[in-house]
């Protein structure tokens, strides 16, 4: 190997050597299920009430945790839209198989200008928030190569990809991640129409659109909806639209009605053990360890809590 | 970099160099949609009638193309089970979100021994068919690194991973791929219960279970079913089971009733251009090219044909 290998090649080699070192360690013996069972209360955190949107669809709860660190302006606008009632009465308008489930104001979709919901004090136009600086980001890093980016890991419970050479980090389009739909102009999203990934991670969308958070509960409600028969999975008739009957910020829901779930922290030894366990065959069924994982194959666990009021 | 780099490291370096070379080529300008539109009749093939299972679920067609090259004994057994009526009257018994949709004989699930369907002339026991030799395999190779395996690409329209150093190749657990459910023993599958991947590719299953083919039409029928409330997504009550009302080999369906679809060949310039196009932002909406793809992000297209009888 000659000495003039480019910097990316050297970085990739270092990554590969790091992986070899990891593979030489003795394999873990505790399964992911047991690690969760054995976890301590400090391994978990509550949802942030000012950054959690609770929606009701088909009588079921769908909970979206926003990502203010990555998309502060979109998070603020979504918060305003939710508080001023924009999403209540909006609807699922598109379900494209192995791609996205999308919601919007039906009147906006039908181009019925006189019925379009007013934006209230929310902003009609926002800058694109495709990436943030990598430097200083509290990234719990994955040792396995990502393929789509030089570096990957988790921040604030969310899958993140990064390019340190360009000092850029961004949210990855994994299953359950939510983005802000836009038209051709990169800065044309404002949070009025959002989509959740319902299949194989379409990572080619990364850095092409603003990602605003993740569905932390109820993703199965969005993924099991009928696929739209129209182009790109759009519901071709208004009567197919599935209404969002209620949408509120968690902070605005009376304590007794608040969803009682907590989410695992990712700055802990438990999380790191969980990631390592996912690389190995543990428990008797599997005969072969993959010795690899990927940020999109590793969802941050949530679980019910005994009492939402306790803290 | 010292000279004693291990073989896998050198191979990885070669892969990286190959990618750099690819990235230096001028980017393609024709979109995937236009490539399909411009394709010639010779870019497409018919489904193999002796290796295609056509099922009806909720009044909709689900078509599974078998992979006799990778799992010949399972393919033969599935063919026998289909022809002797085993699957007609079986049912979807499990839908686990972002994982699998699985079908089986309901009586088998309910442990009602007296009602269990007879296997007829199908075999109760088969060897595990987890991998085949890599040497000589007609692999249309992906240039991008896979992460889960040293080599990846497509064979017979199916996503394949391989380890040339071990002379092994296997079908990858991508969205829509179908495997034969097994219990703890590696050789305990016989095709009576099958599952289709309905979310992010669970590649850790690779080499742990026999993969038998791919859903080439109607995957959205399987992916939009209600998730099971039981452990691992099993339907907890028999009344939730969703029947497979009919299941026949394509060869046994009268010509006039045969599904009129064709599937793209992968040994063509059109396919290679399609893969390359998927690595680039083409058409105006995307602002950034990923310059990467993955076998699980690239499904082999199918399309309706004018007349199923013509050839």
Phi/psi for A217 (5° steps) reads: -150, 140
Q: Which residues on chain B are in Cβ contact (under 8 Å) with A20?
A: 6, 9
CB contacts, 8 Å: B200 with chain A: 174-175, 199-201, 296-297
For chains A and B, CB pairs below 8 A equal: 149
Please report the pLDDT score of residue A88 as a whole number.
Answer: 96
- DSSP states of B217-257: E-HHHHHTSPPPSSGGGB-SSGGG-EEEEEEEEGGGS-GGG
Kind of pairing between the strands at A242-249 and A52-57:
antiparallel
Q: What is the pLDDT, as a whole number, of residue B24?
A: 59
Cβ–Cβ gap A297/B204 under 8 Å: yes
How many C-beta atoms lie closer than 10 Å to residue A22's C-beta?
Answer: 13
Closest alpha carbon within chain A to B201: A200
Interchain CB distance below 8 Å, A227 and B227: no
**Is CATH 2.40.100.10 what the domain over A26-304 is classified as, yes or no?**
yes
Minimal Cβ distance to B16: which of A12, A186, A297: A12
Q: What is the pLDDT at residue A101?
A: 98
Chain A residue with CA closest to B282: the answer is A204
A203, closest residue in chain B (CA to CA):
B290
Across the interface, which of B5, B174, B220 has its CB nearest the CB of A200? B174
Q: Which residues pair with A195 in a beta bridge?
A: A102, A179
For A20, the closest chain B residue by CA position comes to: B9
Cβ distance of B12 and A9 shorter than 8 Å: no
Cβ contact B139:B162 at 8 Å? yes
Nearest CA-CA distance, residue A286 and chain B, Å: 6
pLDDT of A197? 98
CATH number of the structural domain B27-304 = 2.40.100.10
Round to whole Å and give the CA distance between B77 and B74: 5
Question: Which residue on chain A is closest to B101 by alpha carbon?
Answer: A224
Q: Which residues of A74-90 are buried (b: 16+ CB within 10 A; e: fewer)?
A: bbbbbbbbbbeebbbeb
CA of residue B273 relative to chain centroid, distance: 21
pLDDT band at B114 (very low <50, low <70, confident <90, very high): confident
> Using CA atoms, how far apart are residues B161 and B142, in angstroms rounded to an integer?
10
Average pLDDT over chain B, rounded to whole?
91
DSSP assignment letter at B127: -
Is pLDDT of B62 > 50? Answer: yes
Q: What is the distance in angstroms between the Cα of B214 and the nearest Cα belonging to chain A?
A: 14
CB–CB of A186 and B287 under 8 A?
Answer: yes
C-alpha distance from A114 to closest chain B C-alpha (Å) = 28
pLDDT in tens, B247-290: 999 999 999 999 999 999 999 999 999 999 999 999 889 999 99
Q: How confident is the model at residue B14 (pLDDT cuts 50, 70, 90)?
A: very low
Facing A144 at nearest CB: one of B147, B174, B297: B147
Kindly report the nearest CA distance between residue B119 and chain A, in angstroms.
25
- Does B290 contact A176 at a Cβ distance shorter than 8 Å? no
**Once rounded to an integer, what is the mean pLDDT over residues B288-309?**
87
Are A12 and B9 a contacting pair at CB < 8 A? no
Q: If 0-12 CB within 10 Å is exposed, 13-18 middle and 19+ buried, where does residue B97 land?
A: buried
Q: How far apart are CA B117 and CA B113, in angstroms?
A: 9
- In angstroms, the separation between the Cα of residue A52 and the nearest Cα of chain B is 22
CB contact under 8 A, B98 and A223: yes
Contacts of B20 in chain A (CB under 8 A): 6, 9
For residue A176, the chain B residues in CB contact (below 8 A) are 98
pLDDT tens by residue, chain A, 311 residues: 333 333 333 344 444 444 444 455 788 999 999 999 999 999 999 999 999 999 999 999 999 999 999 999 999 999 999 999 999 999 999 999 999 999 999 988 778 888 899 999 999 999 999 999 999 999 999 999 999 999 999 999 999 999 999 999 999 999 999 999 999 999 999 999 999 999 999 999 999 999 999 999 999 999 999 999 999 999 999 999 999 999 999 999 999 999 999 999 999 999 999 999 999 999 889 999 999 999 999 999 999 986 544 44
- Cβ contacts of A98 on chain B, cutoff 8 Å: 175-176, 219, 223, 299
For B229-245, what is the mean pLDDT?
95
Q: Would you state the torsion angle of the CA atoms of residues A279, A281, A287, A289, taken in this order, to the nearest 10 degrees?
A: 20
pLDDT reading at B3 higher than 60: no
Whether A286 sits inside 8 A of B219 (CB atoms) is no
Query: B200, A175: Cβ pair inside 8 Å?
Result: yes
B163-205 pLDDT, tens digit each: 999 999 999 999 999 999 999 999 999 999 999 999 999 999 9
Closest-CA residue of chain B to A225 = B224
Please tell me whether residue B91 adopts helix, strand or coil conformation.
strand
* Residue whose pair of structure tokens reads 């050839």 in the numeric block: B311
């Amino acid at each position: 190997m000659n000495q003039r290998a480019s910097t990316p090649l050297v970085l990739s080699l270092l990554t590969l050597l790091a992986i070899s070192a990891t593979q030489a360690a003795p394999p873990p013996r505790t399964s992911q299920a047991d690690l969760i069972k054995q976890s301590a209360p400090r391994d978990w955190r509550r949802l942030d009430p000012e950054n959690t949107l609770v929606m009701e669809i088909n009588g079921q709860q769908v909970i979206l945790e926003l990502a203010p660190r990555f998309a502060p302006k979109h998070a603020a606008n979504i918060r305003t839209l939710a508080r001023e009632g924009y999403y209540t009465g909006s609807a699922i308008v598109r379900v494209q198989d192995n791609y996205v489930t999308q919601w919007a104001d039906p009147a906006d979709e039908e181009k019925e200008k006189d019925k379009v919901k007013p934006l209230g004090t929310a902003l009609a136009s926002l800058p694109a928030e495709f990436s943030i600086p990598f430097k200083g980001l509290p990234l719990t890093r994955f040792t396995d190569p990502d393929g789509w980016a030089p570096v990957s890991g988790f921040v604030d419970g969310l899958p993140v990809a990064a390019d340190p050479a360009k000092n850029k980090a961004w949210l990855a389009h994994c299953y359950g991640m939510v983005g802000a739909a836009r038209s051709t102009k990169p800065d044309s999203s404002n949070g009025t129409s959002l989509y959740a990934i319902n299949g194989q991670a379409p990572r080619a969308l990364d850095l092409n659109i603003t990602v605003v958070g993740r569905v932390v509960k109820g993703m199965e409600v969005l993924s099991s909806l009928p696929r739209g028969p129209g182009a790109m999975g759009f519901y071709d008739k208004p009567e197919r639209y599935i209404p969002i009957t209620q949408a509120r910020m968690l902070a605005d829901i009376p304590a007794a009605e608040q969803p009682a779930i907590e989410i695992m922290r990712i700055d802990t030894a438990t999380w790191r053990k969980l990631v390592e366990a996912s690389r190995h065959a543990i428990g008797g069924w599997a005969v072969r360890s993959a010795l690899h994982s990927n940020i999109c194959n590793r969802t941050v666990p949530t679980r019910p809590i005994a009492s939402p009021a306790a803290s």
